[in-house]
C-alpha cells in the first residue's frame, strides 16, 4: 500500500441534535473530526496506508480521539502525546434558508503549541508518496505555522508530492496574515485545492464575477486565476470545488481543474444535505486517491466530486463510503433505491 501522510488538528465536535439551535439544545452529539484527519480517514478507507501527524494531550479525551481514528484504519504512530487540551468546535446545523454555524473553542490546543522538536519528519516522510495539509493548521498559531513549513521542507527533501486545501477560516486569522503565511508555503506545493473564497482570502486571487453567497459561477474567471496561480507558484494542478448554494439544505456540487494546458469542469450533482461539514475534505481526499492510484486528472477530479456528493449525505466529519459506491455513482446510478 502507498504511504500517504496528513498533518493537522483533530477536534471534539459537539453538534446540536435534530437541527436544533444552540439556544435550544439540551444535549450535544459528540464525534471527532478535523480537516486533515477527515482526509486521512477517506484515504485509509480507499485502501492507502494513511498516517496522521498531530499532538494530543495524554489524557482520556486525547486517547478517545486516537481510538476514533484507529477505528477507521488511520495509522496514529506519528501522533505525539502532550500539551493540555483537545480543541473543540460546536456545530449548529442549518436548514433551508438558515445557515449552519460553527463556534470554535480550540485556543492553546496541544497541536497549536507543538514544536518542531516533537516530530521526526525524516522518519514520518520515509517511503511516503503524498503529504496533505490545509490552511487551517498554520492558522492555529505562529508555532503551528513554523511546524507546517518544517514539515513541508522535509516532505520535499524526500520527494513527496504535496497538496494543500487552502481552507480559509475567518475565526482563526485575518486575510492579511493568511496571505503572508500561505503565499510563503506555496513554494512547496504541487497540487493546490480550494474554493473561490479560499483563493481570494488566502492568496489574493478572485475568480471574476463568482458570488459565494448566491452560488453564481463564472467558469472563465476560474480559468484565468488558475493560469495566474500556476505562473506564480508553478503548481502541477490547481483545483476548485464549485458549490451552488440554493439553500442550506440543497446545493449544486461540482469542481474544476487546470494542469497548465487544459481546463476541465466536472459533472454537477444536485445534493440534499444531511451534513456538509467535511464536504471539502472528502473532495480533496477523493482527488488525492485518484491521482495516487494512477487515474488521469479528469477521472481523479470526477472521483473526488462523486465521493464528496455522497459525503454530504452522511452525518459526521468522516466520509464513510467505499470505492465501489463512488464508482457506482460515477456510472450514473443516483437513484438512491434500497439495496436488498
Catalytic residues: 281
| Residue pair 55/83 in contact by the 8 Å Cβ criterion | yes
Of 38, 54, 7, 71, nearest to 285 (Cα)?
38
Torsion of CA 53, 59, 61, 65, to 10 degrees: 20
CA 196, 198, 202, 203 torsion: positive or negative? negative
**Is the Cα torsion angle 30, 32, 38, 40 positive or negative in sign?**
negative
Q: Is 268 exposed, middle or buried (0-12, 13-18, 19+ CB in 10 A)?
A: middle
φ/ψ of residue 294, rounded to 5: 95, 10
φ/ψ (deg, to 5) at 104: -95, 140
Joined grid coordinates for residue 227: 493560469
In the block, residue with C-alpha cell 504541487: 190
Of the candidates 240, 334, 221, 233, the one whose C-alpha atom is nearest the C-alpha of residue 284 is 240
What CA–CA distance (Å, rounded) separates 232 from 303?
28
Sheet holding 11-15, edge to edge: 29-33, 11-15, 88-92, 101-105
Amino acid at each position: 500500500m502507498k504511504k500517504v501522510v496528513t498533518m493537522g488538528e483533530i477536534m471534539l465536535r459537539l453538534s446540536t441534535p435534530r437541527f436544533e439551535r444552540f439556544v435550544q439544545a439540551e444535549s450535544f452529539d459528540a464525534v471527532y473530526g478535523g480537516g486533515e484527519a477527515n482526509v486521512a480517514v477517506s484515504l485509509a478507507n480507499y485502501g492507502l496506508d494513511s498516517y496522521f501527524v498531530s499532538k494530543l494531550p495524554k489524557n482520556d479525551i486525547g486517547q478517545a480521539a486516537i481510538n476514533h481514528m484507529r477505528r477507521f484504519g488511520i495509522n496514529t504512530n506519528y501522533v505525539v502525546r502532550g500539551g493540555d487540551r483537545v480543541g473543540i468546535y460546536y456545530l449548529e446545523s442549518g436548514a433551508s434558508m438558515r445557515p449552519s454555524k460553527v463556534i470554535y473553542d480550540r485556543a492553546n490546543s496541544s497541536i497549536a503549541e507543538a514544536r518542531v522538536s516533537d516530530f521526526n519528519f525524516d522518519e514520518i516522510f520515509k517511503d511516503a508518496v503524498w503529504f496533505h495539509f490545509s490552511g487551517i493548521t498554520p492558522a492555529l498559531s505562529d508555532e503551528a505555522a513554523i511546524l507546517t513549513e518544517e514539515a513541508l521542507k522535509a516532505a520535499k527533501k524526500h520527494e513527496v508530492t504535496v497538496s494543500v486545501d487552502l481552507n480559509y477560516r475567518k475565526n482563526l486569522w485575518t486575510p492579511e496574515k493568511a496571505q503572508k503565511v500561505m503565499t510563503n508555503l506555496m513554494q512547496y506545493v504541487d497540487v493546490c485545492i480550494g474554493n473561490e473564497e479560499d483563493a481570494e482570502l488566502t492568496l489574493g486571487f478572485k475568480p471574476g464575477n463568482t458570488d459565494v453567497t448566491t452560488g453564481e459561477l463564472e467558469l472563465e474567471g476560474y480559468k484565468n486565476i488558475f493560469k495566474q496561480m500556476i505562473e506564480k507558484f508553478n503548481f502541477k494542478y490547481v483545483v476548485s470545488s464549485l458549490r451552488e448554494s440554493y439553500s442550506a439544505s440543497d446545493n449544486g456540487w461540482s469542481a474544476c481543474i487546470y494542469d497548465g494546458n487544459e481546463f476541465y469542469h466536472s459533472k454537477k450533482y444536485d445534493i440534499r444535505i444531511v451534513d456538509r461539514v467535511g464536504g471539502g475534505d472528502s473532495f480533496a481526499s477523493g482527488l488525492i486517491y485518484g491521482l495516487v492510484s494512477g487515474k488521469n486528472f479528469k477521472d481523479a477530479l470526477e472521483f473526488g466530486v462523486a465521493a464528496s456528493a455522497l459525503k454530504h449525505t452522511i452525518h459526521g466529519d468522516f466520509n464513510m463510503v467505499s470505492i465501489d459506491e463512488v464508482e457506482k455513482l460515477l456510472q450514473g446510478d443516483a437513484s438512491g433505491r434500497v439495496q436488498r
